[in-house]
Amino acid sequence: MIRLEKRPEPSRAFSLATPLLAVVATMVFGGLLFIALGKDPLTSIQTIFWEPLFGEFAFYYRPQLLIKGAPLVLIAIGLSLGFKAGIWNIGAEGQYIMGALFGAGMGLAFYPLEGWYIFPLMVMAGGFGGWLWAMIPAFLKVRFGTNEILVSLMLVYVAEQFLASMSLGLLKNPEGFGFPGSRNLQQYESAYNADLIAGSGMHWGVVAAMIAVIFAYVLLSKHRLGFAIRVTGEAPRAAKFSGVNPTRLVLFCMGMSGLLAGLAGLFEVSGPAGQVTIDFNVGYGFTAIIVAFLGRLHPVGILLAGLLMALTYIGGDIAQSNLGLPAAAIQVFQGMLLFFLLALDMFTNYRLRFGRAEVA
């Protein structure tokens, strides 16, 4: 008989090893999935993990890694602060949309005026939009005790309706021949979030993601607020005893994750995407939840996990076009990653024991 036994101390070795083990297990079971779909598993996995980095067209894919990784890391860093404290903002996708709408709206309000101050104003508006959208579930939670998981999730769908309304109405390009979608910000110099080094994929969002990683690292390891976040997640009563104000912590964590998601939306709409369209959001806000956990809610881990996730996105696209793998298979593959991570996570705190169990 096999049973689980709680370790006296959480195992550091396992805590570090689980992400790697999860990746390996995902490759094995993903490979089986690809066999079942009639594809060669080795080629499929090589296409997903190898091709974007070192393949023939890597010069094109590598910048994509930064472009796709930056919003994931930026959003996941914000989410991880709340997740560490047991505050579950599941609605980053909505905050991402609202950030993009606020930011793009700010920029388009100045069109066709040019000025150095326009982009900074858009950044502020984008962050504010995301923050505002996250404050709705935060306020309802601290005031009425509603569940932030449900409220933030439902607000994603509200935000999507807003997005549709905006791209068909208020923000629609007056010179766009009636097609839905706003003006293209890539063609509006003062509002364009261009690559800092042409062709590198390195736009302001990448810089913001790096700053967020450093900021979160210092906050969590050195600052009282970070300590309050960690204690609240570990033992809420002990946190209250130590003087943490739970209300303020909810407002801070929700606000921070909303702010960063909003910024991610702004950098995306003003850069790689270029315009507000009905299908502007592609699920970064949800994928960032996986990234946050894959990175063990640790800033450096999230940076690596964000890049890995971006890799599976890009590699998945290549596999779709080159090998004809269905998009759903790629999503299952990404889902497996989170599944194995959470399952293997058990072994940080528990170990397997073989032999007959003791009664009672």
Partner 1 sequence: MTDTPLLDLTGLTKAYPGVVANDSVSLAIMPGEVHALLGENGAGKSTLVKMIYGLVKPDAGSMKMNGEAFAPAEPRAARAAGVGMVFQHFSLFDALTVAENIALGMENAPKLNALSQQIRDVSDTYGLPLSPDRVVGDLSAGERQRVEIIRCLLQEPKLLIMDEPTSVLTPQEVEILFKTLRKLSAEGTAILYISHKLEEIRALCDGATILRLGKVVGECVPAETSARDMAEMMVGTVLQTPTRAGKTPGEVVLELKSLSAKSQSAFGMPLRDISVEVRRGEVLGIGGVAGNGQDELLAALSGEMLTTPGMILFQGREVGLLGPNPRRGLGILTAPEERLGHAAAPDMSLTENAMLTGAAREGLEKGGLLNWGAARQFAEKIIAQFDVRTPGPGNAARSLSGGNLQKFVIGREVLQRPELLVVNQPTWGVDASAAASIRQALLDLAENGTALVVISQDLDELMEISDRFAALNEGRLSPPRPAHDLTVDEIGLMMGGAHGMEVAHV
Considering only 10, 120, 324, 335, the residue that binds partner 1 (CB under 8 A) is 10
For residues 45 and 31, is the Cβ–Cβ distance under 8 A? yes
Q: Does 227 bind partner 1 (CB under 8 A)?
A: yes
Residue 136: half-sphere exposure toward Cβ, Cα within 13 Å: 21
Q: How many residues does the chain have?
A: 360
- Does 3 bind partner 1 (CB under 8 A)? Our answer is no
Q: Is 352 in the site for partner 1 (CB under 8 A)?
A: no
Our CB check for partner 1 shows the closer of 124 and 142 to be 142
State which residue, 135 or 225, has the beta carbon closest to partner 1: 225
Whose Cβ is closer to partner 1: residue 62's or residue 351's?
351
Confirm or reject binding of residue 16 to partner 1 (CB under 8 A): no
φ/ψ of residue 298, rounded to 5: -105, 135
- Nearer to partner 1 by Cβ, of 10 and 115: the residue is 10
**Given candidates 53, 170, 214, 235, which one binds partner 1 under the rule CB under 8 A?**
235
> Which residue, chain included where needed, has tokens 């390009």?
173
- How many residues at the interface with partner 1, by CB under 8 A? 23
Report the C-alpha gap between 223 and 52 in whole angstroms: 38
Q: How many CB atoms lie within 10 A of CB 39?
A: 19
x/- map, 186-225, partner 1, by CB under 8 A: ------------------------------------xxxx
* Segment contacting partner 1 by CB under 8 A, of 24-32, 118-126, 240-248, 338-346: 240-248
In degrees to the nearest 10, what's the CA dihedral of 101, 136, 299, 280? -30
351 binds partner 1 (CB under 8 A): no
Cα separation of 128 and 184, whole Å?
22
Q: Considering only CA atoms, which of 279, 293, 280, 273 is closest in space to residue 334? A: 293
CB of 231 to partner 1, least distance (A): 5
Contact 67, 272 (CB under 8 A): yes
Q: Of residues 1, 2, 8, 38, which one binds partner 1 by CB under 8 A?
A: 8
CB contact set of 165 (below 8 Å; sequence gap of 6+): none
- In 3D, which of 349, 319, 297 has the Cα closest to residue 30? 319
- Which position among 53, 238, 343, 352 is part of the footprint of partner 1 (CB under 8 A)? 238
Of 15 and 146, CB closest to partner 1: 15
- List interacting residues with partner 1 (CB under 8 A): 8-10, 222-225, 227, 230-231, 234-235, 237-243, 245, 358-360
